[in-house]
Amino acid sequence: MRHRSRKKWIFLCILMVFLCYLSLAAIPYIPHKKVSAEFKAHFDTADYFSDEAGSERVAYVDGNTKALVCRLKMMEEAREEIILSTFDFNADNAGKDVMAALLHAADRGVRVRVVVDGISGFLDLRGNPYFQALALHENISLKIYNPVNLLKPGKLQARLHDKYVIIDHSMYLLGGRNTTDLFLGDYSEHPNIDRELFVYETEPEAEHGSLSQLRDYFENVWALPDSREFTCKRNTKKVQKCRRELEERYEDLKALYPQAFSGWDWQAKTMAANKITLLSNPIEAENKEPRMWYALHQLMLTGDFVTLYTPYIICGKEMYADLASAAQALTGFEIITNDVSSGANPFGCTDYLNQKEKIWSTGVTVYEYLGPYSSHKKMVLIDDRLSIVGSYNLDMRSTYQDTELMLAVDCPKLNALIRQEVTADKAYSRTMTQSGEYACGEHYEAVDMSLGKKVMYLLLRVITVPVRRFL
């Protein structure tokens, strides 16, 4: 009996220590910051529009295989430098394809710099011989943003959520795709569907375009004390073997994706844009001013009709108020998000089950998408002119904790192209009507969740309530 009592006491002590640790990690982020008066004073929605075509051209990258091929071709074109920023980087098939292209570029003298979020650095890069092989190359530098440090619990919540590739001073790709099988190539049975924008600069010496803005942004992240170098201390036989494997893989890529090694007419593959502008959150690993959400909200108010794509919705009271004000000001405001039976993020689905009445009460029309695969798209379409695409999810993590990037593109042709996709996705969606019943699109087919999934959601609907702002 005394032995059982001691075990119970030890368990309670461990539980208390764990809860105290979680509290220390959460405390710095509990008060939501507000956007500074200085940022508001300098933000002008007119800066995101132009009546004349600029020097940057844009293309919409809409398929996972297309996204991988585009990366490979861009890296093949590099002559001076490749910059890659990604939240998640795995040594899976797609990840190795990208690593092979990076290694080959470095072999021909191209400078390569890669920055990866600390969670992926801890789970994927640490001790992995493929990444160690990259780090050993004299022309390749890797950094980890805000590495996991259990002695600094207050830093654990801040993540690098940016995803982009920059080639020299001529082109870049930016969106919501991670460097894994789920988002690149045709390697996964259950891929996530995402979108990116490719931007081509026709005047490489231009100093004020979005490419210049993105390069400056990267340099600031790279120089942060929170960005730590990833190194390989020992060139083991295993590391050498992985390097040879990546070199051989590059040769295989030529046969697997021949289009990535053919001649591309970047001018023909892109469309003219009046203005392309980078939107971002603060970059420091700390509780952030919600600059991204403020900018998106202000830009939405310039239009009459807004469509917002997000994989899931996890809003705080300030965000609910902004949604309601936008819904009241606009002629139409709709959100397209995943149906809970197909969403890839169980926490986002759980919060929607708990909060959907509150979301609907803002006046926004919500389409619950149930297509062939889970949607990972993050986009805002404002009228028939402005399209905003990137990494920002409509949740408190993207608003107050993570780095985020979105591209605002003033281009009616791009907007019309994406709106065709909106029409198709609505056919796979259902939405709540004023009568309290669901109206279903012609291709929407309800899916019965398994008993295990129902039980999981039932438990999560209780467990996640006190920590929903950190999901």
Helical ranges in 330-436 per DSSP H: 346-360, 396-400, 412-426
How far apart, in whole angstroms, are the C-alpha atoms of residue 328 and residue 323? 9
pLDDT at 1: 47
Q: Which residues contact 12 (CB under 8 A, 6 or more apart)?
A: none
Question: What pTM was estimated for this model as a whole?
Answer: 0.94
Question: Among residues 255, 404, 264, 384, which one has the least CA distance to residue 331?
Answer: 384
Closest CA to 313 of 279, 280, 340: 340
Give the Cβ contact number of residue 358 at 10 Å.
13
Q: What is the largest CA-CA distance in the chain?
A: 82
Q: Which domains does the chain have, with CATH numbers?
A: 26-48+278-470 (3.30.870.10), 56-261 (3.30.870.10)
CA angle in degrees (0–180, nearest 5) for 354-360-363: 155
Separation between Cα atoms, residue 99 and residue 108, nearest integer Å: 14
- Triad 407, 423, 265: Cα angle to 5°: 50
Report the pLDDT value the prediction gives residue 434, as an integer from 0 to 100: 73
pLDDT of residue 361: 94
394-395 vs 332-338, strand pairing mode:
unpaired
| Cβ contact 414:274 at 8 Å | no
Structural element, H or E, at residue 379: strand 379-382
Backbone angles phi, psi at 166, to 5 degrees: -115, 135
What does the pLDDT look like over 16-68, one tens digit per residue? 665 565 566 778 888 899 999 999 999 999 999 999 999 999 999 999 999 99
Residues in the chain predicted with pLDDT less than 70, given as ranges, are 1-24
pLDDT of residue 411: 98
Q: Which residue has the tokens 């970047």?
A: 266
| 458 Cβ contact list (under 8 Å, min separation 6) | none
DSSP-assigned beta bridge partners for residue 309: 336, 379
Q: What is the pLDDT of residue 60?
A: 98
